[in-house]
Amino acid sequence: MPSPLLSTSPIALAFRHFRRNRGGSAAVEFAFVAPIFFALIFAVFETALMFFAGQVLENAVQDSGRMVYVWTGKSPLPQSTFTTDFCPRVQLLFNCANVSIDMQSYPPGTPIPTVAPYDGSGNQTTPMSWNPGSPGSGNTVVLRVFYKWPLVVTGLGYNIANINRGSINSQRLLTASAGFRIEPPP
C-alpha cells in the first residue's frame, strides 16, 4: 500500500504546510485590530485636548473678567481693552477672531437668562453685545465667551459634537462664563 504522504498532490501538500504555519499570524491579527485601536487612541487625545482647551478658556475668562470687576475708570470698560487682555491668554489654542464675547449688565433682582446663543446647526440665535454696566451701579455683570471647537475623530463614530452633529464639519461649543456684581459706591 502506498504511503499517504506520497499519494497526495503537491497542491494539497502546500496547502497543508500553509495551514500549519503560524508565522505572520500576529501581523494579520494586528491588521484587524489596529484601526479600532488607533481610532480609540485618537478619540482619547481629541477629548483630552478639548477638555484642556475648555479649561484654558475658563481660566482666561476668569482672569480677564477680574479686570472688568476691578475697573476703576470713569466710563465702562471698552471691549478693546478686554480683548487686548484676553487674547494673549488663549492664543496658543484659539483663534481670537473666532471667539464670541458677550457681556451683559443686569439691575439687581433681574432674572439672568442662561440660553446658549447658538443652535444645533451653529447658527447664532441671539446677538452678542458688550454692556459692562457703569461703574458703581450695583448691577450684576455676566461675561460669557463662546468658541466653536473643531472635531476630527467624530467621523470615526465617536461623536461628542453639539454643533453640526453627524456631519463632516462637526464642532463642540466651548463656553466659559464669569459673573460678578459691580459694587455701588460706599
Mean of the pLDDT values across residues 78-107?
Answer: 90
CA–CA separation, 178 and 182 (whole Å): 13
Q: What is the pLDDT of residue 66?
A: 84
164-173 pLDDT, tens digit each:
777 778 888 8
**pLDDT of 122 strictly over 70:** yes
Could you tell me the pTM of the whole model?
0.77
Q: Bridge-partner residues for 172, per DSSP?
A: 149
Q: What is the pLDDT of residue 59?
A: 95
One DSSP character per residue, 42-81 reads HHHHHHHHHHHHHHHHHHHHHHHHHHHHH---SSPPPHHH
**Burial call 85-112: b when 16+ CB within 10 Å, e when fewer:** bbbebbeebbeeeebbbbbbbbeeeeee
Q: Are 129 and 104 in contact (CB under 8 A)?
A: yes
One DSSP character per residue, 113-178 reads ----SB-TTS-B-S---B----TTS--EEEEEEEEEEE-SGGGGT----SBSTTSTT-EEEEEEEE
Q: Are 108 and 139 in contact (CB under 8 A)?
A: yes
Q: Residue 56 — pLDDT band, cuts 50, 70, 90?
A: very high
Q: What is the pLDDT of residue 186?
A: 61
19-51 pLDDT, tens digit each:
666 667 788 888 889 988 888 888 889 889 999
Cell readout for 142 is 455676566
Q: How far is CA 39 from the centre of its chain?
A: 18
Cell readout for 118 is 447658538
CA–CA separation, 100 and 184 (whole Å): 29
Q: Residue 6 — pLDDT band, cuts 50, 70, 90?
A: low
Cell readout for 179 is 459673573
14-25 pLDDT, tens digit each:
767 666 666 677
Half-sphere exposure of 150 toward its Cβ, with a 13 Å CA cutoff? 7
133-166 pLDDT, tens digit each:
777 777 888 999 999 998 887 666 677 888 877 7
Mean of the pLDDT values across residues 69-79?
Answer: 74
